[in-house]
Each structure stands twice: as structure tokens, then as C-alpha cells.
A and B are shown apart, each in its own frame.
Chain A
Amino acid sequence: MMSEIVIHTENLTRRFGDFVAVKNISFDVKAGEIFGFLGANGAGKTTAMKILCGLLSPTSGVASVAGFDVYKENEQIKENIGYMSQKFSLYENLTVRENITFFGGIYGIDRKSLKIKSEELIQRLSLGSEADKLVGSLPLGWKQKISFSVAILHNPKVVFLDEPTGGVDPITRRQFWDMIYEASAKGITVFVTTHYMDEAEYCDRVSIMVDGAIAAMGKPSELKKQFEVDNMDGVFLQLARGAKRSE
């Protein structure tokens, strides 16, 4: 199962007028892999991720997600992915249960199975009476766990995580990564964009974008060896210092 390629890009390019936001990027991500997509502000991460989520068409090159072409089959892509971001994930003024129902509906889960899945999720996260509280009143760590669970409720092929775990205590953060590992062990591909390098250490493999192009790609341990540093921050600083553009 691990050999199946779920995200494929080849010379993927996106221009905005004269500006080349994404320059000839090529990479493959396998089923169940946790892939870190790193880069400084303005490096082109968001543009590339929008393309992979079926929200933006590339200018040239090839890309497919879950076997669907980003040019022609972007609606099918949307059905087969989940998305979670630190900035926006859940509606703060809806309860946990209402959020699950709402997003489950958006992801196309039928009413009957949604009800079952919703109860399972509330039990698994030991939410109890918290399930009927407004999301806005819950601690950040809970919100992160709930929004990740919601993003994979429809059992997508790929889940995109946009800076998922900033700001929480080290134990809560690890509980969150436990959930990511669990999803990955079930075969869900996890695509993480972040500029926090210690998040990168948790990925199976990472790519680092500089000025629209991929400047380095590999396992965190390989990259640290290659750049002769003891953490991913050191790798990133060496690569990104030469960057010409910023947001």
C-alpha cells in the first residue's frame, strides 16, 4: 500500500502576470506518508497548496491528487481531500456537535452515517458534555484535535494541514501528532505546510521551497546530515537566507 503515489507533480508552474509564484516543482507523495511542505513567507507554498486542493489552475506542468488531474478534475479532488488550518477550521459560534454535522455535510457524508460518525468522534475524543459547548469556549489544543478529526471524518485520501500545531503546550502538541501518526498508519496521506521547523522534524519527508522552487527535499535526518546541522531550523536558515523575495 505504501507504494501507491497519491500526490504527483511534474514541472508544476504557476504565474501571476510576470511573477512566477511556483517554478517547475516536481515531487511525489506516497499513500500514508507525512510530507512537510516548508518555505518562508512568500516562497510559494500557499499557491502550490491551492493548486493541489483544486482551488487554482496551474499555468503549466502536471499535477494529480488522489489520481485526479488538477486541471480537469478539481471537483473530484475536493471530495477526496480534507483541510485544516490553524487560522480557520471550525466555527467558533457553533457547538462542537454542530461543527461536526456542518463539515460532515459539506464533505458529503450522508445523514445517517454522519450521526454515527459524530457520536464515535465525540466518544473517541472523550468530549462528553463539552460536545454541546461553543467551540469558541474551548482551549486551543481541543480545537486543533477536533478540527483535525473533522477534516478526516470522510476518510479522505489526503489531508492538508496548514500550520496546524502552533501555540500549544508540548504534551497537547504530541497528542495531536499521535493523531496524525494514527491517520498515516491507516493510509491517509498527510501534507503539512508550516514554517515552524520543529514541526518539520515530525514529517517522514520534507521539501523546502525558496523563491518558488524546491531547494531541498528528503528525510529530516538526511537533510540535517547534508547541511551538517543538528536541527531543521539550521537547514532552513541556510537555504532561505539566500532567498530574493519575501511576501
Chain B
Amino acid sequence: MSSISINNITKTYEKGKVLALDNISLEVKSGELFGLIGPDGAGKTTLFRILTTLLVADKGQATVAGLDVVKNLWDIRKIVGYMPGKFSLYQDLSIEENLNFFATVFNTTVEENFHLIEDIYVQIEPFKKRLAGKLSGGMKQKLALCCALIHQPKVLFLDEPTTGVDPVSRKEFWDMLDRLKERGITILVSTPYMDEASRCDRIALIQKGKILDIDTLENIISKNTQLLLAVKGEERFRLLNDIRAYEDTLTCFAFGEENHVVLKSGTEKVDFLSKYLADKKHKGVEIKPIEPNIEDTFIKLMLESENAQ
């Protein structure tokens, strides 16, 4: 059963001049932890606003838990939890006051649904008298999640919840989402960090308002049959430029200490590249074939999408 169903949604801004979402369709199954992965400006927040009934699409339909986002907006608002990308709690209320406020707005009490937030709340409880505006990034994020959960939502929308928090808090946050998933809550979460894709059941890669692919991470990567080489050497910048200038090079991008290179001829003519770099007097050159990762795949899909236009 689909918990979120999106059909051919298009949204423009500034009287049609800015295309934020371009004919998007996707289904999120009930109980799924679904990741919307893409950079700033891809359209992630626009999609969240449409699904949480805060914005109306130009074209297309969408339902959340079987309810239409335009016709049934009041019913949707009762059953979804939304954590916006920008910290949106009351900065001049304490942790405790924010939580009580959100519970009251949804006609419930903190006690009634405490079981849902308990393992998150205990981490911030020692500071419950502290004003929300005075909390660290990691603590704000935990409080915002508690506030989004306190009315026991069926579907949870989390817009870039891990932006601006350190790796330890990030990992803890994803562990929390796993536990919420076990309780049967459907979660749609967006992130610009590709490494977080591995924490989702399925993902949609989104760029410039278009969906590049929807599948499990493993399937998305396995569809990428590009033959990839990792090339490293001592003079990083000169190496990068020389590889790019090489006639058989299709693409070359820096990946940490290495460069990931796709040759027009595949991997058959690696020896020629090796000789070319030796002629250019590069030292410490190592070339090895590698399996693509999610970023390689995103880049490939991005370039294909741009070339198709």
C-alpha cells in the first residue's frame, strides 16, 4: 500500500519563470524509510511543502495516507509530522514549553504519546528549562523531531534534518529514524549528503526539479555499468588537468585523494593513459579499476539528464 503517492506534480515560481518541480511522480510505501537525495535548489523543500499542504502545485495530484493534498488538507495536517529544514520552533520558549505547545495544538498531551519520543527526549531532558534558541545544532534537531512526533503522526516529513550537525549526531539521528520505522511510521526524509542514502530503504535522486532515478541504493548503483578508474599521483592539480586534457578521457572528477576517470575506450587502453602520464613526468601514479559509488552514479545521471535537454 502506498502511503504517499505523487503523480505528475509540476510547480513553478515567479509566474512560471522558475521551474521548481518538473512533472514528478513517485510512490512511498507504507512503513517505508524513503530518502529524497539531491543538492540545494533541487526542489526537495517545494515537494515537502506540497505534500504537507502548505503549497499548491500548478499541475498534478498527490495523496498522503490516501488523502488528497488539496481537497483534504485539514485531515492531512492532523496525521502528518513535519520538520522543516529551517529551525522553526519558538526560540524564546524552553524545550519543555515547545513540546507542550505542540502537543496542545494537536489536542493531545506529552504524557499520552511520551512512549514515541522517550528515547529521543531523555537525551535533551537534562536541559528542558533551556530556551530553544540557546541549544546546539544537535539538540535543536532532537527537539524538532520530538515536536514533529508528539501527536503520533502516520507520516513523518523531515526536510534536511542532518544539515549542520556533526557526524556523531548525524549517525545517532539515523539510528532514531530506524527505531521510528519499526513503530510503523512512514518517513520521507531529504538530504544533500549522498552517503546518507545507505540508511534509506529506497531513494529518489533529484536534481533541478527532475527525478534522475528511484530505486534501492544497491539497484541504482548496479545499473551504473560505466567502467571507472581511480587515478592518483603526487601533483594533484597538474594531474587533474593533464588527465582532462587527454584525448581518451570522457570525464575526470576529483574524489578525495583520487581522481575518478571514465575513458571513452572503457578500460582496455589503461596502459596508454599510464604511458601518457609517465611522459608528462607524473610521479607516484597509481591507476586501478573501481566500482562506482553513489556520487559517481549521481554525476553520471546528472550529465545524462543535462545532455538530454
In the complex, whether A46 has a CB less than 8 A from a CB of chain B is: no
In the complex, the answer to whether B256 meets A202 with C-beta atoms within 8 Å is yes
Q: Which of B39, B192, B240, B299 neighbours the largest number of chain A CB atoms within 10 Å of its CB?
A: B39
In the complex, the answer to whether A140 meets B166 with C-beta atoms within 8 Å is no
Given known contacts A177-B254, A201-B255, A247-B136, is B40 in contact with A168 (CB within 8 Å)?
yes
Q: Which of B145-153, B167-175, B177-185, B263-271 contacts A (4 or more CB under 8 A)?
A: B167-175
Give Cα A13 to B253, complex, Å: 39
Instruction: Give B113-137 as 1s and 0s: 1 = Cβ < 8 Å from A's Cβ atoms.
Output: 0000000000000000000000011
In the complex, whether B161 has a CB less than 8 A from a CB of chain A is: no
Cβ contacts under 8 Å, A247 to chain B: 136-138
In the complex, the answer to whether A40 meets B168 with C-beta atoms within 8 Å is yes
Q: Which of B169, B194, B237, B298 neighbours the largest number of chain A CB atoms within 10 Å of its CB?
A: B237
Task: Tell me the chain B residues, 34-54 only, with Cβ under 8 Å from chain A.
Answer: 38-42
Give Cα A222 to B92, complex, Å: 46
Give Cα A236 to B193, complex, Å: 17
Please, which residue of chain B has its CB at the minimum distance from the CB of A32? B237
**Contact-residue bracket for chain B:** 35 or more
In the complex, the answer to whether A195 meets B237 with C-beta atoms within 8 Å is no
Give Cα A41 to B168, complex, Å: 10
Instruction: Give B289-304 as 1s and 0s: 1 = Cβ < 8 Å from A's Cβ atoms.
Output: 0000001001100110
In the complex, the answer to whether B257 meets A182 with C-beta atoms within 8 Å is no
Q: Which of A117-125, A127-135, A238-246 contacts B (4 or more CB under 8 A)?
A: A238-246
Task: Tell me the chain A residues, 149-182 only, with Cβ under 8 Å from chain B.
Answer: 166-172, 174, 177-178, 181-182
In the complex, the answer to whether A246 meets B302 with C-beta atoms within 8 Å is no
In the complex, the answer to whether B256 meets A198 with C-beta atoms within 8 Å is yes
Give Cα A41 to B140, complex, Å: 13
Please, which residue of chain A has its CB at the minimum distance from the CB of B239? A181
Q: Which of A139, A181, A237 neighbours the largest number of chain B CB atoms within 10 Å of its CB?
A: A181
The residue that B40 contacts in the complex, of A167, A174, A181, A233, with Cβ under 8 A, is A167
Cβ contacts under 8 Å, B24 to chain A: none
Number of interchain pairs (Cβ within 8 Å) = 100
CB proximity of A220 to chain B, nearest CB, Å: 6
Please, which residue of chain A has its CB at the minimum distance from the CB of B236? A181
Give Cα A16 to B192, complex, Å: 36
Task: Tell me the chain B residues, 226-256 only, with Cβ under 8 Å from chain A.
Answer: 235-238, 240, 253-256
Give Cα A197 to B171, complex, Å: 12
CB proximity of A10 to chain B, nearest CB, Å: 27
The residue that A185 contacts in the complex, of B136, B237, B298, with Cβ under 8 A, is B237
In the complex, the answer to whether B167 meets A182 with C-beta atoms within 8 Å is no
In the complex, whether B207 has a CB less than 8 A from a CB of chain A is: yes
Q: Which of A168, A219, A247 neighbours the largest number of chain B CB atoms within 10 Å of its CB?
A: A247
A-B residue pairs, 6 tightest by C-beta: A201-B256, A247-B136, A169-B39, A181-B237, A185-B237, A167-B40
Q: Which residues of A contact B (CB under 8 A)?
A: 40-42, 139-141, 166-172, 174, 177-178, 181-182, 184-185, 195-198, 201-202, 219-221, 231, 233, 236-237, 240-241, 243, 246-247
Q: Which residues of B contact A (CB under 8 A)?
A: 38-42, 136-138, 163-169, 171, 192-195, 207, 235-238, 240, 253-257, 295, 298-299, 302-303
Given A181-B254, A202-B254, A221-B257; 15 other pairs, CB 8 A cutoff: A40-B167, A40-B169, A139-B41, A140-B41, A141-B40, A169-B38, A170-B39, A170-B194, A170-B253, A171-B253, A181-B236, A185-B237, A196-B193, A198-B195, A201-B255
Pull 27 A–B residue pairs with CB atoms less than 8 Å apart, ordered by A: A41-B137, A41-B165, A166-B192, A167-B39, A167-B40, A168-B39, A168-B192, A169-B302, A170-B39, A170-B253, A170-B299, A174-B253, A178-B237, A178-B240, A178-B254, A181-B240, A181-B254, A185-B235, A185-B236, A198-B256, A201-B257, A202-B254, A221-B257, A240-B166, A240-B168, A241-B168, A247-B136
